[in-house]
Chains A and B, each alone.
Chain A
Amino acid sequence: MSVVETKTAGKARSLPLLRAIFRRPSGALAASWLILVVLGAIFAPLLTPYAYDIQSLKEAFQPPSASHLLGTDEFGRDLLTRMLYGARTSLSVSSISILISVAAGLTLGAAAGYFGGLFDRAVTTVADLTWSFPEILIALILVAIIGPGIAGTMAAIAVAYLAQFARLARAQIMTLKGETFIEAARSLGAGHSHILFRHLIPNALAPVLVSAMLATGDAIILEATLGFFGLGAQPPTPSWGAMMSSGSALLFKAPWIIIFPGLAVAITVVAINLFGDALIAALDIRDRVRKDA
C-alpha cells in the first residue's frame, strides 16, 4: 500500500512550523505565555515556599504584598501558590477531556461519514441536536448525573464538545472520501479499517487537532464555570474555577480572590486562540494575490 501516500506532517516539518508561529508577534507572545503557564504548573512546588492547602486564618484576606504577591484567600492561603497548583488541575482537566472528546468524536464522525446510511443519520441527528444546545447546560446535566468533582467535570467537557468534533470529522471525511488517493487505495483492495484508519483519519487530523486546541480554551472556561458553581474540583484541590467559587460573596471584601484566577483563565484562553490563529496561518499559507484571468 506504499504507493498511496498520506499527507501526515513529519518531524522534519514541525521545526519550520514553530518558527513560522514565532515570527508573528501575537503567536510568539501567546506561545511564550502558554509555555510559562505549563512550566509554572509543572514546577509549582519549586517556585513557591507556601503549601496550597494549609490554612492559616490569621493571614486571611491579605491584599497583594511583597510576601504574598497576589494576596491570600479567605483561609489565608497564598493565592499565587494556589494558582500555580490550580493551573495543573485546570490545564490537565481541560486538555485530557478534550482529548477524550476528540478521540470519541473523530471515531464516531469518521465512521458516520465513511459508512453513511442509517448510522450516519443517527449520529448527525444527535450531533446536530446537542450542538445547538449550550455546552454549559449539557455539562450541568452531566455533572448532576455523575456528581460534582473532577471526574464529573471531565465527563461533562468530553460530552459537551463531542458533537463539534463528530461534525467536523464527518465533514472532513465526506470531502476526502471522493478524492483519488482513496479511490486508488480501494481499487488496490484495501479494507474498510485500513482506509479509515490509515488514510482518511490521518488526513482529517490536522483541522480536527487545530479545532481541538481552540476547544481546549473553551474547555478551560467551562471548567472555570463549573468550578464557580461549586461543581468542579472539590476543596482543598485548587483549580482556577474552584478558586472563584466563593464568588460574589467575597467580591467586595477581597476582590483579588476573584480577579486573579479569572485573569489567568482569560489570558490563557486568549493565548490559546492567538496560538491557534498562528498555527492556522502557518499550516495554510495561501497566495492571496488575485491573478489576472
Chain B
Amino acid sequence: MLAYALRRVLMLVPVFLAVSLIIFLILHFIPGDPIDNLLKVGAPPEQRAEMMARYGLDRPLPVQYGIWLGKLLTGDLGMAIVARRPVADLIAQALPHSLLLGGLALAFSTIVGVALGVIAALNKDGPIDRAIMGGVLIGSTLPSFWLGLLLILAFSVGLGWFPVSGARTWSSLVLPVLTIGLGGTALVARITRVSMIDAAARDFVMLLHAKGLSPLRIQLRHVLRHALIPVVTILALRIGWILGGAVTVEVVFARPGLGTLLIKALSQHDYPVVQASLLMLAMAVMLGTLIGDLLQAAMDPRVRGALA
C-alpha cells in the first residue's frame, strides 16, 4: 500500500509539469497588456520598457517559464501587477476560504448524496425512488449562480436567517455550501443509486443470501461497500467540478476566495494572480484524483494487488 501510494505521488510530477506549462502558455495568449493598466495614457516608451523589464516580460518565453517554475517551487509566486502585493499573500488569504467552502460542500454532497442514493436504491422503482431521482434531476440542472440568488432571496431577504454575503460568520457559510452541495449531492446520489443496483445484481450477493445473512446486512455491509468504490472514484475526479461551483458561488455571495480572486484578476489581466490561482485549482484537482485513487486502493484489494 505504501509503495503504491509513493508511486502514485511520483506519477503526479509529470502531470504537474504539463499543467503548469499549459497554464503558463495559455495566459500569454491573453490579449490586453497588464502594463497598459499600470501606465498613464501617453507615458513615454522608456517607462514602458522599464516596467516590462521589472516584471521580466521582455525575456523569451522559455526563459520566463523556467524562471516562473523555479520561483514557484520555492513558494515565490511573483508580484501581483495590479494589486502590487506578493501573489503568495493573496493566495494565502483566499485559499483557506475556498478550501473551507469546497470541503464543507464536498462533505455535504457525499453524506447526503450517499444517503439519498441508498434510500433510492433500496426502494428501486417505487414512489420514494422516483421522488428522490426527480429531485436529483432538478438539483443537478439548476444553474448554481441562480440557485444561490434564489436562496439569498428566500432565506436572507425573505426570512432573514442568513447573511446575504461576506464570510465573517459561520452562518454565512450555510447558503454557499448548500448552493454548491445540491449539485454535488445530485451527482453522488445518482452514482450511488446506480452502483448499489449494479452491485446488488452481482453473483456474490446471491451467495450472501444463500448463506442466510439478513437482507439489510447484505445491503449495508456488502452491497454498499462495493457501490462506494465507483462513488469515491468519480467523486475524486469531480472535485474540480465542485471547486468550479465554488468559483461561481463565491462571486454570487461576494465571498473572498480563489474564485473571486481569479475572476477579478482575469478582468484586470493580472497574469501572475491568474496563473497562481489556476495552478492552485489545478493542484486541488490533482490532489483529488490522488486521494480518490488511494481510497480506491484502500477499499479494493484487487486494485492493491494489481498495482503494488
A–B direct contact (CB < 8 Å): yes
Cβ-defined partner of B30 (8 Å) among A132, A145, A247? A145
Interface residue? A255 (CB, 8 A): yes
Interface centre among A137, A228, A247, A265 (most CB of B within 10 A): A137
B15-47 vs A, CB cutoff 8 Å, 1 = contact: the mask equals 100110010001001110000000000000000
Interface residue SS majority, chain B: helix
Interface residue SS majority, chain A: helix
Q: Does A252 contact B141, Cβ atoms closer than 8 Å?
A: no
Chain B residues near A274: list those with CB within 8 A.
Answer: 137
Chain A residues near B19: list those with CB within 8 A.
Answer: 129
Which segment, of A45-53, A191-199, A205-213, A217-225, faces chain B?
A: A217-225
* Residues of B174-208 whose CB lies within 8 A of A: none
CB-based nearest A residue for B144: A225
B263-286 vs A, CB cutoff 8 Å, 1 = contact: the mask equals 100100100001000100110010
Chain A residues near B145: list those with CB within 8 A.
Answer: 224-225, 228, 244
Q: Does B141 contact A266, Cβ atoms closer than 8 Å?
A: yes
A145 in contact with B18 given A136-B248, A251-B149 (CB within 8 Å) = no
* Chain A proximity of B261: nearest CB distance (Å): 12
Chain A residues near B164: list those with CB within 8 A.
Answer: 248
A258-278 vs B, CB cutoff 8 Å, 1 = contact: the mask equals 110010011001100110000
Interface residue? B289 (CB, 8 A): yes
Q: Does A140 contact B262, Cβ atoms closer than 8 Å?
A: yes
In the bound assembly, the distance between CA atoms of A136 and B209 in angstroms comes to 46
Interface residue? A181 (CB, 8 A): no
Interface residue? A69 (CB, 8 A): no
Chain B residues near A133: list those with CB within 8 A.
Answer: 240, 244, 282, 285
Chain A residues near B146: list those with CB within 8 A.
Answer: 224, 228, 244, 258, 262, 265-266
Interface residue? A35 (CB, 8 A): no
* Chain B proximity of A262: nearest CB distance (Å): 4
Interface residue? B231 (CB, 8 A): no
In the bound assembly, the distance between CA atoms of A255 and B15 in angstroms comes to 45
Q: Does B244 contact A255, Cβ atoms closer than 8 Å?
A: no
Cβ-defined partner of B266 (8 Å) among A131, A140, A255? A140
CB-based nearest B residue for A137: B244
* Chain B proximity of A125: nearest CB distance (Å): 8
Chain A residues near B142: list those with CB within 8 A.
Answer: 262, 266
* Residues of A211-242 whose CB lies within 8 A of B: 217, 221, 224-225, 228-229
* Chain A proximity of B234: nearest CB distance (Å): 11
CB-based nearest B residue for A142: B26
Cβ-defined partner of A224 (8 Å) among B138, B143, B237, B269? B143
A251 in contact with B157 given A132-B240, A221-B141, A266-B141 (CB within 8 Å) = yes
Interface centre among A144, A217, A265 (most CB of B within 10 A): A144
Chain B residues near A248: list those with CB within 8 A.
Answer: 149, 152, 164-165, 252, 254
* Residues of A27-63 whose CB lies within 8 A of B: none
In the bound assembly, the distance between CA atoms of A145 and B25 in angstroms comes to 11
Interface residue? B297 (CB, 8 A): no
In the bound assembly, the distance between CA atoms of A137 and B266 in angstroms comes to 11
In the bound assembly, the distance between CA atoms of A231 and B141 in angstroms comes to 21
Interface residue? B150 (CB, 8 A): yes
Cβ-defined partner of A134 (8 Å) among B141, B243, B254? B243
Chain A residues near B254: list those with CB within 8 A.
Answer: 248
CB-based nearest A residue for B288: A132
CB-based nearest A residue for B14: A125
Q: Does A135 contact B30, Cβ atoms closer than 8 Å?
A: no
Q: Does A217 contact B141, Cβ atoms closer than 8 Å?
A: yes
Cβ-defined partner of A129 (8 Å) among B15, B138, B263? B15
Interface residue? A141 (CB, 8 A): yes
A252 in contact with B157 given A133-B285, A137-B244, A137-B247 (CB within 8 Å) = yes
CB-based nearest A residue for B158: A255
Residues on A lying within 8 angstroms of B by beta carbon are: 125, 129, 131-137, 140-141, 144-145, 147, 217, 221, 224-225, 228-229, 244, 247-248, 251-252, 255, 258-259, 262, 265-266, 269-270, 273-274
Residues on B lying within 8 angstroms of A by beta carbon are: 15, 18-19, 22, 26, 29-31, 137-138, 141-146, 149-150, 152-153, 157, 164-165, 237-238, 240-241, 243-245, 247-248, 251-252, 254, 262-263, 266, 269, 274, 278, 281-282, 285, 288-289
Given contacts A129-B22, A141-B266, A248-B165, 10 further A-B pairs with CB under 8 A are A129-B15, A132-B237, A132-B288, A133-B240, A134-B240, A224-B143, A225-B248, A248-B164, A262-B146, A266-B146
